[in-house]
Structure 1
Amino acid sequence: EKNNKKHVKVYLWADKAHTQKIHDQKVKVTYSYDMKNVVTIFNDVGSLQYKIWGSEWDCEVKKITANIHLPGDKNNIYYLNPEYYNLSDSINGNTIHVETTSIPKGEFYELQVLMPLDDFSNATYAKHVNSDAKEQIMQKQSDYKGGVSFWGNIFNILSALCFISPLSLIFVYLKYGREPKVDYHGIYERELPSDDPPAVVNAILNRSSIGEPNMKGFEAAIMDLIDRKVFKIHIEEAEHTDDLVLEFDDSKYEELSITDKKAYDLLKTFSDGNMLNVSRLSSKLNNEYNGKLFKEKLDDWKESVKNQHIGQISEYFNDTGTSISYGYTFGGLAIAVILFIISLFSKHPASWTLTIASIFLGVIALAISFIPEDIFGKWTPEGRVYYLKWMNFKKFLTDNSLIKEHPPESIVVWNKYLVYGTALGVADKVYESMKLHEPRVADDDYYYGDLYMFHSYSGLIMLESAFNNGISAANPSSDGGGFGDIGGGSGGGGGGAF
């Protein structure tokens, strides 16, 4: 006995000498015991409050079948809590029969019976309390049942809202995402659809963040500066390989736009004098200080593209639906986390459904963040034509049969194709087409211009690797005397499983 509790340890042996333990078989164990003060006699009712299964067990129980025999067979009122563990229950004469579903570890299952005082003529072993309690007990049971039902309904409603909330995005798409009809039916575009700088084209067509250039846009800006002879290309012999070097022509600096100057200045920050070794740029950006400096200047360049060239993106794109989808993403993730935490700490069975629903909501909200902005947003009529023309130009650049049918007339045009192909993410396709239609480009001994030399020496790949290193380096990882409450009954017990 410890802390007024009886502790019983059962040893299972196969023989009377206790030399062979029982293994891997079902064993029926019967406990028989008498308990005092389990029934409480009030002035108006007798009450049995007993835990059929206690919360101190450190294992679940798959099923409980219980028969409770009462002293009388009339006017008995019984309650089973929590009722969501009930599989079946009935009263026949003076016997209550109960069957349960599985009860998890740490949970209780309790019976309370209200019996007429006439059933207790000699209640020597009962607990006597000089007060009325029947109405209070019945009210407490009613309140408890109402609370269980209330939270069950709340959890079910929240779960339903989580599951049906993605349907709201259909409404957002129908209202804000359907593209306007425009009077343009082109199949492909052979000429540049506009005279915008390549970084601007990249920014406007950047469906993941419309109006902001991505890394391909910055690479296209560098290619454009090479094409315009602002940067010159040199190949320097190194110990094991040849290095690709950019030479800065400062005499052309003042002719550049503000945006081009920022791109120029960014690269010059990491140069040695007027020379930038592109082959070794990646290692130079591979530290936190240089990485942060690179990212700061790159962000400054992006802002310049937006402010100096694009202006009001609303002229091209209506982002109302996109903003709503962002709200769904951030709100959905926040709500999903809150509901998930609530469901983990709740013991109500409906909380399991809420757990699944919160995970579902979180996954959907996260997935929405990867959808292109023009799914829930839409282009203005002007922006739609702009988008379609440039997409058709991209189609032309990637279709060898179309280029063969309408080949560029000069290297100047091919240069533009390569620059804008970089902005559109298809520079390699343009270069392959160039080699097919201008065989001299494939000849290593033939000098066809800085732009193609830069590409053939994997200049774009080295730039992209260096820039990605810079971005990564900029973001390093951190390192009693009355009746009891529900669940306050006697019995139930607890302990370990066999």
Structure 2
Amino acid sequence: MTKLNLNKKTIIVFFLIAIAAIAIYGLSRIANSIQVSVKSMDAEITIDGAGNMTIREEWVVRFPTRKSVTFRDIGYGKYDPDDPLYQDLGDTASFDKENVSVKVYDKSRRELRADEYRVGYSFRNDFDEYGQRIVPPKANMETIFVHVYNGMKDEMVFVYNYRILGAVTLYRDIAELNWKLVEYFPMKIARSTVIVNLPSEAVLAWGHGLSNGTVHLEEKSVRFEMKNIAKDDLVEFRILMEPEDFPDVAEKNYISMNMLNTITDYENKLAVETNRRIKVAMVLFYGTFVMTALMAFLMITAYIKYDKEHEPKFTGKYYRELPAEYSPAEMSYLYYFRKINAEDVTATILDLVRRQYLLLDVAGEKMTAKKPDFKLTLNPQKSDLTELLPHERHVVEWFVKTCGNGQEVSFKDIENYPKKNYNNAQTFSRMSRTFVRLAKDAGKKRDFFEVGLDRKKQRLYVALLIPAAYLFISFLIAVPLNLSISFTVVTALVIMVIYGIYVASIDRRSIAGNEDFAKWKAFRQFMLDFGRMKDYPMPGVVIWEHYLVYATSLKIADQVMNQLKVKLAPEELDVPNATFMHLGYRYYGFNLGYVLGRINTSLLTARTNMNTTIVAHHTKKVGAFTGGSGFGRGGGFGGGRSFGGGGGGFRVR
């Protein structure tokens, strides 16, 4: 295996990995879009003088897939083993089992009737839709079960009313509500507003668990505004209040300590950490744009140095003679940037007729036939085909010796050959591919394109380390700080794929090749415009036959013929050395493109018959395999944690 082939395989593997990564990410995003999502979750919480919370929650949930059951898990435990601040195991809260209710509405806010759904509670030992006892997933938690018998509509509204006793902890110098309202849910919550009504004005308040939120201290209330709460985020807040506002707090919820300074110091440290996270996130975000700009600069530099075509010396609009004498297929390889087209087969046949290796004649048909059958015959006076290029010899082998009898072939023979059976169709297809390969091989020998680019492109691939390294560094920075770098990940992967594909596509004509290309382009323009040139002396038919060979590969033969029929009288066509333009001028419906049109029609018909035969063969095999059956169709929030009590979440099935 050569080094070049190894490098190509490495590049292919790299692109497959990058594309797979993007596909996986994209599919995950699509999968998320068809999952249950929470349009909004709003809550109003009222704190009384005993430190109890009365909560009203309103969940607006979208169900793109048919679901029928929801669970609202409500945590009330206050102790968290991960909380670095002092905790008292006796400081507990409880769920008020006597003050809980649920109402369910459809999208139009119509309340569902009692016979349309059922509510169950874990503390009452109720059962779910499968007859299993409703059990909360954690200790110090209760679950509210809702089963809508006919399944959820596209959008449903759930209103929960419940009460938590002993939520507030009272210290000597401050009262604290440190609470997690929700910590898990099906997908992201698009928007949430939580209003906490207090006995008097709050001293301080912080939000935790997510970065996209704001805290507003208002008269006797605190309002938390949140957007785009991710699935792994949680809604957590800490509010400090005057201890005098809670004269009726239970003894178990009183801790005889001064905690104001300890709590504020801890929150200040979290604020510093949050600011650091925000700064790092901004650096990564804007760094992504810098990396993108750098890669764009490198792409522009690569284009200027290795991809931009050389400036040709010839700059004229018209070139009035053949720029070169190589075959039309080789010209096409240069003109269409390494491509060989279907027209090149027709052009090669015409060129062999023009050079009299093949003789073109009527196949003994009447002169009045509307669609006479021409035939191609090997010229016995030019039986030595070794002077031909491999792709030219292949045309003789393909049509005369394979489709014909070895000496001649009619156009109808060419049309019917792939129609006879599957093997013939496969042979015709294989020989078509061989022509393309041989024509490209001939073009490669002309040095039309710059050599040494592969080595230069290997050096350009090194630049892929820039987005790869930036992505790796971003991961190293983001993971410990729990930062989301989705934008950086997608941008880096897309840039790597785009840059890699661009570098792989870098190619340009050599200085000599681009000089020829400029002349061929001007020659093409000349053939399109010569009919309007009053000072242009018309050459004879033999010259135009030579030009038309290349006009065929340049895909302008019809336009050239339309101009020639004005410039050339029919009697000027019948000259001794003419090989194909004169044929058929006495036939019904004759025009100068008569022979060219017949060749194109025959080759198109042959290709159509080839495809039809192959498809029919495979369809028959599939039908036999399947037994003939048919186919179907088918102030911002702070970072870190305050380790508050409560918790729970929202589940569906």
The answer as to whether partners of 1:282 and 1:462 remain within 8 angstroms in 2 is no
2:102 corresponding residue in structure 1: 9
Q: Which amino acid aligns with 2:325?
A: D
Distance in 2 (CA, whole Å) between partners of 1:146 and 1:472 is 67
The reply to whether residue 89 of structure 1 matches residue 225 of structure 2 is no
Whether 2:612 is the aligned partner of 1:456: answer no
Amino acid at match of 1:80: H
Deviations 1:445-480 (A, max 9, x none): 438x9x9653132x235435756887999999999x
Which of 435-444 and 223-232 deviates more? Answer: 435-444
1:369 and 1:176 map into 2 onto residues whose CA distance is 10
Go from structure 1 to structure 2 and tell me whether the alpha carbon gap of 1:415 and 1:326 turns closer, same or farther (over 3 Å shift).
farther
Distance 1:311 1:319 in 2: 13
Could you tell me how far 1:64 is from its partner in structure 2?
Answer: 0.5
Alignment partner, residue 449 of structure 2: 313
Unaligned runs of 5+ in 2: 1-70, 76-94, 118-155, 257-261, 571-580, 623-630, 632-639
| Residue of 102, 116, 120 corresponding to 2:227 | 102
Q: Distance in 2 between matches of 1:473 and 1:369?
A: 40
Residues 1:253 and 2:385 are matched in the alignment: yes
In 1, distance between residues paired with 2:378 and 2:331?
Answer: 25
Cross-structure match for 1:422 = 552
Alignment of 1:127-206 (within 5 A): 150=280, 153-155=283-285, 157-158=287-288, 161-162=291-292, 165-166=295-296, 168-176=298-306, 183-206=313-336
CA distance in 2, matches of 1:428, 1:370: 36
Alignment CA distance shift 1:413-1:20 (3 Å): closer
Aligned equivalents of 2:606, 2:464: Cα separation in 1: 36
Q: Say if 1:55 and 1:487 are closer, same or farther in 2 by CA, change over 3 A.
A: farther
CA distance in 2: counterparts of 1:469 and 1:487, whole angstroms: 75
- Greater percentage in helix: 1
Question: What is the TM-score with the length of structure 1 in the denominator?
Answer: 0.65
Aligned to 1:50: 179
Q: Give the TM-score normalised by the residue count of structure 2.
A: 0.52
The residue number in structure 1 matching 2:89 is none
Q: Distance in 1 between matches of 2:604 and 2:178?
A: 73
Map of 2:84 onto structure 1? none
Quote the residue 1:494 is aligned against: 650
Matches of 1:27 and 1:301, distance apart in 2: 69
Give the letter for the 2:238 counterpart: V
- How big is the shift at 1:418? 0.7
- 2:208 counterpart residue number: 80
Which string of whole-angstrom CA distances, capped at 9 and with x for unpartnered residues, describes residues 157-182 of structure 1? 33664477545444344444555555
For residues 430-450 of structure 1, give each alpha carbon's deviation from its aligned partner in whole angstroms, at most 9, with x where no partner exists.
Answer: 222222222326995438x9x
Per the alignment, in what secondary structure is the counterpart of residue 33 of structure 1? Answer: strand
| Structure-to-structure mapping, 1:80-479, within 5 angstroms | 80-84=208-212, 86=213, 88-91=214-217, 97-103=222-228, 106=231, 108-113=233-238, 124=252, 150=280, 153-155=283-285, 157-158=287-288, 161-162=291-292, 165-166=295-296, 168-176=298-306, 183-206=313-336, 209-210=337-338, 213-234=340-361, 242-243=372-373, 245-249=375-379, 251-268=383-400, 270-274=402-406, 275=409, 277-280=413-416, 283=419, 289-290=426-427, 293-294=430-431, 296-307=433-444, 309-311=445-447, 313-314=449-450, 351=486, 377=508, 379-380=510-511, 382-401=512-531, 405-440=535-570, 444-446=584-586, 453-457=594-598, 459-463=599-603, 466=606
C-alpha change, 1:4 and 1:162, in structure 2 (3 Å) is: same
Closer, same or farther in 2 for the Cα pair 1:424/1:20, shift >3 Å? closer
Structure 1 residue 201, shift from structure 2 partner = 1.9
Q: Within 2, Cα distance between the matches of 1:399 and 1:61?
A: 63
SS in structure 2 at match of 1:111: strand
Report the structure, 1 or 2, having the larger strand content.
Answer: 2
Comparing 228-237 and 65-74, the one that deviates more = 65-74
- The 1:31/1:164 distance shift into structure 2, 3 A limit, reads farther
Distance of 2:333 and 2:110 partners within structure 1: 80
Alignment check: 8 A CA contact 2:376 2:400 kept: no
Q: CA offsets, 1:9-61, max 9 Å, x none?
A: 3146989x97999xxxx99967341145x56899xx99755334553267845
Verify the 8 A CA contact 2:318 2:522 in the aligned structure 1. Answer: yes
Taking a change above 3 Å as real, the CA distance of residues 20 and 421 of structure 1, as seen in their structure-2 partners, is closer
CA distance in 2, matches of 1:62, 1:291: 64
Matched, 1:67 2:207: no
Q: Which amino acid aligns with 1:446?
A: R
SS at match of 2:227: coil
Structure 1 residues 11 and 111: alpha-carbon distance in aligned structure 2, compared to 1, 3 A threshold: closer
How big is the shift at 1:416? 0.5
CA contact (8 A) 2:181 2:236 kept: yes
Contact 1:55–1:494, Cα closer than 8 Å, also in 2: yes
How many residue pairs get aligned? The number is 454
Secondary structure of 2:603's match? helix
Look up the SS of the partner of 2:180 in the other structure.
Answer: strand
- Mapped partners of 1:248, 1:391: distance in 2: 33
Tell me what 2:67 maps to.
Answer: none
Which deviations, in whole Å up to 9, do the C-alpha atoms of 1:228-249 show, x marking residues without a partner?
2323335567999655544445
The secondary structure found in structure 2 opposite 1:34 is: strand
| Residues 1:269 and 1:169: Cα distance change in structure 2 (over 3 Å) | farther
Q: 1:83 to 1:214 in 2, by over 3 A?
A: same
What secondary structure does 2:321 align onto? Answer: coil
Q: For residue 48 of structure 2, what is the aligned residue in structure 1?
A: none
Identity of matched residues, %: 16
Change (3 A) 1:331 1:172: same
Contact 1:417 1:430 in 2 (8 A): no
Cα deviation for residue 319 of structure 1 reads 5.6
| Alpha-carbon spacing, 1:70–1:52, altered in 2? closer, same or farther (3 Å) | farther
Q: SS at the partner of 2:558?
A: helix
Amino acid at match of 1:56: F
* Cα 1:301/1:228, change in 2 over 3 Å: same
Q: Which amino acid aligns with 2:210?
A: P
Shift of 1:421: 1.0
Aligned residue identity for 1:102: K
Q: Relative contact order (alpha carbons < 8 A, sep ≥ 6): 1 or 2 greater?
A: 1
Q: Which letter maps to 1:64?
A: T
CA contact (8 A) 1:246 1:278 kept: no
Aligned partners of 2:461 and 2:503 also within 8 Å: no
Any unmatched runs of 5+ in structure 1? none
**Alignment CA distance shift 1:61-1:452 (3 Å):** closer
* C-alpha distance in 1 between matches for 2:427 and 2:460: 32
Contact 1:14 1:20 in 2 (8 A): no
Q: Paired residue for 2:90?
A: none
